[in-house]
């Protein structure tokens, strides 16, 4: 007879896969957990690619993506596909990571079906439910419905307490992205681009919904300005597949020498670029956590962040989407060695690489395994 506890881990996007992978691996090491990976199919190729790096296989794919699908339709399909999946699997707990629509739907579905829900990277908040959109809404819903809240930092823990979550249900674990980063650092391949040894490199990512349109145009123009002012500065820009991003990026940046546009990098290649780059220019959440661990300054192209710890530590700076501000702050890093050193501390406020181990132990204690 099988007395193992069945734990379903749901993943939708590549960042979720990377951050859930250390937890899945730790659960798979145990004798008490049967771990089942369910993919929603939101970023199917990127997701499979990312999990394969860690040797993790998807057991079920909900295959929810339809070209041109609106957010309400995606949400409806997720509810429609996840309900029978959970009824069939009957898990003892469901785990989800972060703040995507998959996470929100998973939390609500578990509430409806009386399944304990564990939220990895719980407690991140901004002051505005619309920023970022829809992620802030998603994580607030997950916070309302979670059974176990795995907060990456003390600040996230405090956010949950302020929201009325019971202290006994919140565990500060660190962020699993640091676990993944340390795991991959030992296995990362050579830099996947031909770049002069003497060149400085800026890693760029840009994809947030709130930055679509004119803000992104300003961001791309700042890249052109910097490239023309600093001939030794090259850009590596893995372009998000969203047509609203990729079409504008191609129109504005593709003809400029020294701007290396490419499809989204697999995780090993991303870690290689992080290790080699000079600084990071991003509106991404994950890179705000990953880059400081490598001692890389982060300029965050957003007006506010749900990850204030890096800003408070001085290893990240909010620069918004204004062309002039981005150019000025990047120039300061490129021209002023002391300013650069003050941000390149090589210290992360997001953990020590043992977050997944702590999460596994808290789940074991809760389930009485």
Helix, coil or strand: residue 261? strand
Tokens representing 304 are 């506010």
Which CATH superfamily groups domain 5-174+354-367?
Glycogen Phosphorylase B; (3.40.50.2000)
User: What is the enclosing helix (H) or strand (E) of 131?
Assistant: none
Query: Where are the alpha helices (H) located in 29-100, listed in sequence order?
Result: 44-53, 71-89
Q: Give the separation between CA 334 and CA 336, rounded to whole angstroms.
A: 6
Which residues are bridge partners to 172 per DSSP?
Answer: 151
Q: Are 132 and 164 in contact (CB under 8 A)?
A: no
Q: Are 231 and 208 in contact (CB under 8 A)?
A: no
Give the full edge-to-edge strand order of the sheet including 316-318: 259-262, 233-238, 200-205, 279-282, 298-300, 316-318
> First and final CA of the chain: distance in angstroms?
15
pLDDT at 123: 98
Which residues are bridge partners to 233 per DSSP?
Answer: 200
pLDDT at 2: 63
Helices 176-185, 267-276: axis angle to 10 degrees equals: 80
pLDDT at 188: 83
Q: Which single residue is written with the structure tokens 């609203």?
A: 244
Strand (E) positions, the chain?
A: 5-11, 33-39, 60-61, 93-97, 117-120, 148-151, 170-172, 200-205, 233-238, 259-262, 279-282, 298-300, 316-318
Taking CB atoms within 8 Å and a gap of at least 24, the contacts of 306-313 are 306/124, 306/125, 306/126, 306/132, 306/135, 306/136, 306/139, 307/124, 307/350, 308/155, 309/153, 309/155, 309/349, 309/350, 310/349, 310/350, 312/349, 313/345, 313/347, 313/349
**How confident is the chain (369 residues) per 10-residue block, as mean pLDDT?**
88 92 98 97 78 93 89 96 98 98 98 99 94 94 98 97 98 97 88 84 89 90 97 94 87 93 90 95 91 96 91 96 97 98 90 97 95
Extents of the domains making up the chain: 5-174+354-367, 200-343
CA 62 to chain centre: 21
Which CATH superfamily groups domain 200-343?
Glycogen Phosphorylase B; (3.40.50.2000)
Q: Are 201 and 276 in contact (CB under 8 A)?
A: yes
The pTM of the full predicted model, rounded to 2 decimals, is 0.87
Catalytic residues: 99, 121, 135, 207, 209, 240
User: Nearest to residue 354, comparing CAs of 190, 160, 152?
Assistant: 152
Helix, coil or strand: residue 202? strand
């Amino acid at each position: 007879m099988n007395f193992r506890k069945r734990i379903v881990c749901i993943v939708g996007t590549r960042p979720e896969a990377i951050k859930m992978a250390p937890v899945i691996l730790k659960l798979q090491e145990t004798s008490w957990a049967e771990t089942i990976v369910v993919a929603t199919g939101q970023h199917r190729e990127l997701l499979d690619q990312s999990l394969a790096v860690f040797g993790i296989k998807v057991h079920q794919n909900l295959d929810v993506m339809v070209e041109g699908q609106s957010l309400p339709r995606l949400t409806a399909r997720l509810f429609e596909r996840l309900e029978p999946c959970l009824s069939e699997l009957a898990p003892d707990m469901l785990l989800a990571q972060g703040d995507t629509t998959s996470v929100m739907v998973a939390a609500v579905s578990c509430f409806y079906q009386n399944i304990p829900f564990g939220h990895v990277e719980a407690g991140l908040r901004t002051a505005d439910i619309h920023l970022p959109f829809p992620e802030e809404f998603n994580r607030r819903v997950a916070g309302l419905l979670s059974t176990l809240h795995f907060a990456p930092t003390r600040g996230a823990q405090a956010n949950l307490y302020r929201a009325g979550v019971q202290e006994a249900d919140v565990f500060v674990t660190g962020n699993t992205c640091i676990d993944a980063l340390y795991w991959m650092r030992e296995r990362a391949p050579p830099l996947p681009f031909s770049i002069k040894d003497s060149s400085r490199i800026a890693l760029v990512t840009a994809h947030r919904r709130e930055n679509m349109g004119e803000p992104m145009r300003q961001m791309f123009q700042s890249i052109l300005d910097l490239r023309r002012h600093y001939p030794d500065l090259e850009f590596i820009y893995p372009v998000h597949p969203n047509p609203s991003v990729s079409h504008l990026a191609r129109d504005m940046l593709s003809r400029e020498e020294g701007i290396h546009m490419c499809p989204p990098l697999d995780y090993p290649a991303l870690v290689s670029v992080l290790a080699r780059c000079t600084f990071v220019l991003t509106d991404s959440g994950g890179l705000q956590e990953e880059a400081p661990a490598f001692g890389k300054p982060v300029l965050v192209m957003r007006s506010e962040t749900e990850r204030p710890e890096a800003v408070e530590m001085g290893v990240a700076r909010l620069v918004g989407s204004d062309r002039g501000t981005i150019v000025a702050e990047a120039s300061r890093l490129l021209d002023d060695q002391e300013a650069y050193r003050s941000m390149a501390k090589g210290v992360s406020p997001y953990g020590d690489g043992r977050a997944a181990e702590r999460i596994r132990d808290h789940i074991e204690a809760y389930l009485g395994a």
